[in-house]
Structure 1
Amino acid sequence: AHTIGLARCVNFRAHIYNDSNIDSSVGSSLQQVCPRTAGSGDNNLAPLDIQTPTYFDNAYYTNLLATAGVLHSDQ
């Protein structure tokens, strides 16, 4: 389970550009961090918990219920 941490663009690119199970505003926000082109921005980082990225709480799980998970494997 993830609560605090970051994900590399290369690990969530397909999710934000190809999947339908992600909130559109979250997807758009992550697309600003992670370009569509493979190899471009692969090491750019995004927080796993978009609401409270530096707190140990249950917001990460709330995000998942709202289809706002960064990683496809968690969503």
Structure 2
Amino acid sequence: MLPLTPEQCRAARGLLDWTQEELAERADVSRSTIRDFENGRHSLHMGTASQVVTALERGGVLLIPSDEAGPGVRLRKPVD
């Protein structure tokens, strides 16, 4: 699993137009978990990170691994 950064999480939610609450519900975690992670207060446990990544990917984002330009996020092209 790709490591998720707080910045990627915020960007992915923005692309999906999801609130922290919506992501929390879809990932089956608390809103405070999302809020604290995105604000850099703590890291996510491996299982929680997996739930968040899965929810974001199911929503339609592609998390791009870090390279010399840093990590990224983009919307997946819809399948026709």
With normalisation by structure 2, the TM-score equals 0.35
What is the TM-score of this pair, normalised by structure 1?
0.36
| Higher fraction of helix | 2
Larger Rg: 2
Pick 1 or 2: higher relative contact order, CA cutoff 8 A, min separation 6.
1
